[in-house]
Every structure is written in C-alpha cells, then in structure tokens.
C-alpha cells in the first residue's frame, strides 16, 4: 500500500484529471507553493492536503483503510478462537497420546509452512494472485456513487495489483496461522492448569529405543530455551499408559508439548511473518512523480529567472485588441458580480444603451444552457466581464470556449476589478490578494485569450 500522504496525493491527481471540483482551487494552491521550501515529495503532499482543506478525501481513504484493518482483526480473532476450541475438543481424554496430539497440532501447519517456503523460493518475482484483488476489493467495503468514493476504490484496487502485495498477502496468512497457534497454546495452558493429564505413546513399528531417540531429537530445541524433556526411563514407562502416571513425568511431557508448539510452530511462523513484513516494506508502492501530471507541477515550481547575458526571455503572449462591432451587444458577467451596475459602458463608449442587453451573471450549468440557447437564435456580439478573482482554470476556460463557439458575431472580454473598471488586474486592488498575484493572474488571462484569439477590451484611464 502507498503511505497515507501518497494515497491522498494520488487521489487528488485522479480526481483533478477527471476535472473534479475541490474544496480549494488546485491552481491557487500550486501558485502559493511555488515560493515555499521543501523537497518535491513534501510539496506535493502539502499541496494535496491543502486542496483537501475540508478533509473529505482523507475521510474516505481512512474509512476504507479502517474497514480493511477491521476485517483483518476480526478474522484473526475468529482463527484464534477456532484454534482454542479445536484443541479443547482434542484434549477431552485424561490419557493423551503425545505424538498423535503433536501431529494434530503441527502436522498440517508444517506442511503449509514448507509449501509457502518452496513457492517463495521458486516464484520470487511473482505478483499477487489475481483472485486476491477481487477477494479484498474495497468496492465490497464501501458504497457510494460519488466521484471521490469511486476514485478512492480505484486507487486501492490499483494498489492491490502491485507486485509487492504478494508479501502483504503472505503476512496476512502468517498472521492468521499465528492467531490459530496462539489459540491452541492458550487452550493447552488452560487445560494443563485445570486438569491432570497422563501422556502415552504407542507404535506397531517403532521400538522403545527408536522412540527414545525421536523424543530426544524433538526435545533438543525446546530444551535450549528451558522446557523439560522426558528422559529415557520416563519415555519407556509412558508406552501404552492407561491410568494416571507420576506427576513429575506428566510435567515433562507437558513441557515438551508446549515447547514443541512454541519452537516448531509459533516461532517459525513469526519469523515468516517478519520476513514478509520486511519484504513488503522494501517492495512497497511508491509515489511515481515521473508521471506527466506531477512533472508539470514540478516544472512550474522550478521556474526561475536567469541572467540576461545567458538567456533572452520570450515575450509574454498578449491578447489581441477587441474590435467592437456596430450591431447589438449581449453583456454578461462570469461567475462574479461587478461593483458598478453598468460596468460595460467604459468598453462600449459609442454603443447606444438600447442596443445592449444585460444577461446577468453566468454561474451554473443552467445559466450556460440558457445563454447558448439565446445565442443560437440571435446574432449578437458578446461582451464577457471577468472579475479579478476568476481563475483561468479548465472549467472557466471551457465556459469561455463554449460561449465563443455559439456567439455568431464574436466574443470579446473585459477584465474588471473589485473597486474600479480597469485595463488589467494589476490596477485592481483587492483586500485579500497582493498586486503581484494579480499581475500573474492578469498575464494568465492574456495568455489564455491570446491562444483563443479572443479580443480584450482596452479601457482608457
């Protein structure tokens, strides 16, 4: 999985690519971060956090992550209880066949652990199984048809297909085995505390000496950490026991049983779990800042002025001068109101007031649909007033392109400020934005209008 900050950054990328409307404008945040210090990754993380100013994206990611971890915890508890109940059922008799119980405890576990080890050595670079991504798909854990939920689910599903997820799957399977073995260990300790057992063994093919050698080999590792091991006399006396045996001998067999479960079951499985956790950390998915989306942002932040002797700066694009036609005019404001009621008069000096129709403010989709319907049936020149607060982002420029396409007599633009009508945003003074930011915004509009060959109304001041 990606780190939480990387996940949020990737989610912002996916949503911005699909033209999602965020709580805070990404273009404004990107501009403000240009002068801040930090590594590229740190600044990208900071940008994503500020764009998600209301925490809506982080909450969706946290909900999915919390539910995945919750399911893993519930499954571990269920496996632990099943191990406890399984061994509790197995040890109902007062006389226990030691080797039979040991095989029931560790036989299948050892086979599965050996199989995992062989498959790990054979398929070192294998990706996670295809069924794993569909089995743990976040679409089963969270319901929602909004853009944020869909993008978050897609993000998690892409992570599940990453090659490092095979170690995540291995770690989880080892965790379930550890839970099962822990439940068995708790059951053994509980039963040995409240009941007195006698341990026996029986074999048709193996002699007493063979069982003595087998038991001593089996008890070598548990004895290294302090667990008792039956001696040869106790082993011989334990064959075909049908009644209570001396307590000292029973304790030796009980110590060997607990030690074997720990040293041949829990400890190897814990080592395998730690190995998978380490490999998952090494193979963990990283944020790919080489993608064009991130490179565009990083290139913007790295722009700087070089010496004039080494570099001749290209002239900034300038919008063409607007040509005011002699016909009827339609005036409209884009998203923001103007302080003056008849803000267009300074740009349409020689136009009679009867030839000007005020459409009002274009704000939502209904306004755009109404304007396009009007333009399709009337031949008018459109004068669009754009406030200093308006950003030339994708949504705004899309509206501009649509108006230009439907305006039969053309589209011209007038840039206006908060307190006065002006030729550019550099003359408009706002309380919450410095003049240098306004100058950058003004040049952005000049560039956008120049690229679309849309005329800009020049006002004499």
Q: Report the distance separating Cα 375 and Cα 296, nearest Å.
A: 36
Give the residue from 225, 253, 282 where a domain finishes.
282
Is pTM, for the whole model, over 0.85?
no
- 371 in the same domain as 271: no
338 and 229 share one domain? no
Q: Give how far the C-alpha of residue 235 lies from the chain's centroid of Cα atoms, to the nearest Å.
A: 58
Same-domain check for residues 162 and 238 = yes
Which residues span the domain enclosing 173? 4-282
Q: Check residues 429 and 290 and name the one with the higher pLDDT.
A: 290
Residues 32 and 136 both lie in one domain: yes
pLDDT at 61 over 70: yes
pLDDT at 307 over 50: no
**In the chain, how many domains are there?**
2
pLDDT class of 24 with cuts at 50, 70, 90: confident
Contact between 410 and 382 under an 8 Å Cβ cutoff? The reply is yes
**112 CB contacts (<8 Å, ≥6 apart)?**
177
Q: Is residue 47 part of a domain?
A: yes
Identify the domain boundary among 282, 307, 338: 282
- Claim to verify: residue 265 and residue 361 sit in the same structural domain: no
Same-domain status, 278 and 334: no
| Burial class, 238, CB count within 10 angstroms (exposed 0-12 / middle 13-18 / buried 19+) | buried
**Do residues 347 and 230 share a domain?**
no
Dist. CA 68–CA 155, nearest whole Å: 14
Residue range 347-360: mean pLDDT, rounded: 78
User: 380: closest CA among 350, 358, 402?
Assistant: 358
Using pLDDT thresholds of 50, 70 and 90, give the confidence band for residue 398: confident
Beta bridge partners of 385: 333, 414
166-170 mean pLDDT: 86
Residue 431 banded pLDDT, cuts 50, 70, 90:
very low
Digit-coded pLDDT (tens) for 271-289: 999 999 998 888 777 888 8
Q: For residue 424, what pLDDT is reported?
A: 42
List all residues 6 or more positions away from 445 whose beta carbon is below 8 Å from its beta carbon.
319, 386, 392, 413, 415, 425
Question: Is residue 292 in some structural domain?
Answer: no
- Residue 43 falls inside a structural domain: yes
Are 344 and 356 contacting, i.e. CB atoms less than 8 angstroms apart? yes
Pairing of strands 95-97, 455-456: unpaired
Is 418 or 170 the better-scoring residue by pLDDT? 170
Higher pLDDT, 156 or 424: 156
Q: Do 195 and 94 form a contact (C-beta atoms < 8 A)?
A: yes
Task: Map residue 128 onto helix, strand or coil.
Answer: coil
* Same domain flag for 276 and 349: no
Q: Would you say residue 420 lies in a domain? A: yes
Of the ranges 40-49, 72-81, 169-178, 430-439, which one carries the lowest mean pLDDT score?
Answer: 430-439
Average pLDDT across the chain, whole number: 83
Specify if 278 maps to a domain: yes
Strand partners, 332: 360, 384
Q: What is the pLDDT of residue 305?
A: 42
Query: Above pLDDT 90, what percent of the chain?
Result: 24
Report which of residues 203 and 320 the model is more confident about.
Answer: 320
- Domain match, 271 and 372 both: no
In which band, very low, low, confident or very high, does the pLDDT at 320 lie, cut at 50, 70 and 90? confident
Q: Return the CA Rg of the chain.
A: 37
Kindly state whether residues 237 and 334 are assigned to the same domain: no
**Paired tokens of 357:** 């129709």
In DSSP terms, 300 is beta-bridged to: none
Tell me, letter by letter, the H, E, C secondary structure of 242-292: CCCCCHHHHHHHHHHHHHHHHHHHHHHHHHHHHHHHHHHHHCCCCCCCCCH
Residue 163, pLDDT > 80, answer no
- 352 and 262 fall within a common domain: no
Token digits of residue 76: 């571990």
The CATH number for 430's domain is 3.40.50
Q: Is residue 300 part of a domain?
A: no
Position 127 scores a pLDDT of 54
Torsion angles phi and psi, residue 411, rounded to 5: -130, 130
SS3 label, residue 358 = strand
Asked whether residue 118 is domain-assigned, the answer is yes
Percent share of the chain, pLDDT over 70: 88
Q: Is residue 402 part of a domain?
A: yes
10 Å CB burial of residue 219 (0-12, 13-18, 19+) is buried
What is the per-residue pLDDT across 85-142, written as a single tens digit (0 to 9) for each? 999 999 888 888 888 899 999 999 999 999 999 988 887 655 555 545 455 566 667 7
């Amino acid at each position: 999985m990606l780190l939480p900050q990387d996940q949020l950054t990737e989610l912002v990328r996916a949503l911005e690519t699909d033209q999602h409307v965020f709580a805070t404008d990404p273009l404004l945040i990107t501009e403000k971060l240009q002068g801040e210090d930090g590594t590229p990754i740190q600044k990208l993380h900071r940008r994503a956090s500020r764009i998600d100013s209301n925490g809506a994206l982080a909450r969706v990611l946290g909900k999915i992550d919390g539910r995945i971890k919750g399911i893993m915890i519930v499954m571990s508890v269920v496996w632990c209880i099943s191990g406890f109940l399984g061994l509790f059922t197995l040890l109902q008799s007062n006389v226990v066949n030691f080797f039979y119980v040991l095989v029931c405890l560790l036989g299948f576990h050892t086979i599965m652990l050996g199989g995992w080890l062989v498959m790990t050595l054979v398929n070192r670079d294998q990706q996670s199984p295809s069924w794993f991504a569909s089995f743990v798909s976040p679409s089963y854990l969270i319901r929602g048809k909004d853009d944020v939920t869909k993008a978050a689910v897609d993000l998690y599903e892409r992570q599940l297909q990453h090659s490092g997820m095979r170690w995540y799957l291995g770690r989880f399977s080892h965790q379930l085995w550890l839970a099962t073995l822990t439940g068995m260990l708790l059951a053994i300790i509980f039963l040995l505390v409240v009941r007195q057992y006698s341990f026996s063994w029986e074999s048709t093919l193996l002699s007493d000496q063979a069982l003595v050698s087998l038991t001593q080999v089996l008890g070598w590792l548990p004895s290294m950490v302090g667990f008792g091991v039956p001696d040869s006399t106790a082993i011989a006396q334990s064959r075909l026991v049908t009644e209570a045996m001396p307590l000292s001998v029973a304790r030796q067999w009980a110590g060997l049983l607990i030690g074997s479960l720990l040293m041949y079951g829990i400890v190897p499985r814990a080592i395998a779990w730690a190995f998978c956790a380490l490999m998952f950390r090494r193979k963990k998915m990283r944020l790919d800042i080489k993608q064009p989306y991130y490179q565009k942002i990083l290139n913007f932040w790295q722009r700087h002025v070089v010496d004039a002797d080494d570099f001749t700066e290209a002239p900034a694009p300038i919008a063409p001068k607007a040509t005011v036609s002699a016909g009827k005019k339609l005036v409209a404001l884009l998203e923001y109101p103007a302080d003056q009621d008849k803000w267009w008069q300074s740009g349409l000096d020689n136009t009679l007031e009867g030839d000007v129709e005020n459409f009002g403010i274009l704000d939502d989709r209904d306004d755009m649909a109404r304007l396009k319907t009007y333009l399709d049936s009337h031949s008018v020149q459109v004068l669009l007033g754009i406030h200093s607060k308006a950003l030339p982002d994708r949504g705004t420029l899309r509206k501009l392109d649509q108006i230009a396409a439907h305006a039969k007599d053309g589209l011209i633009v007038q840039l206006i400020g908060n307190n006065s009508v002006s030729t550019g945003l550099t003359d408009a003074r706002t309380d919450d934005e410095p003049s240098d930011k306004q100058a950058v915004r003004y040049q952005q509009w000049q560039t956008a209008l120049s690229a679309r060959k849309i005329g800009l109304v020049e006002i004499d001041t």
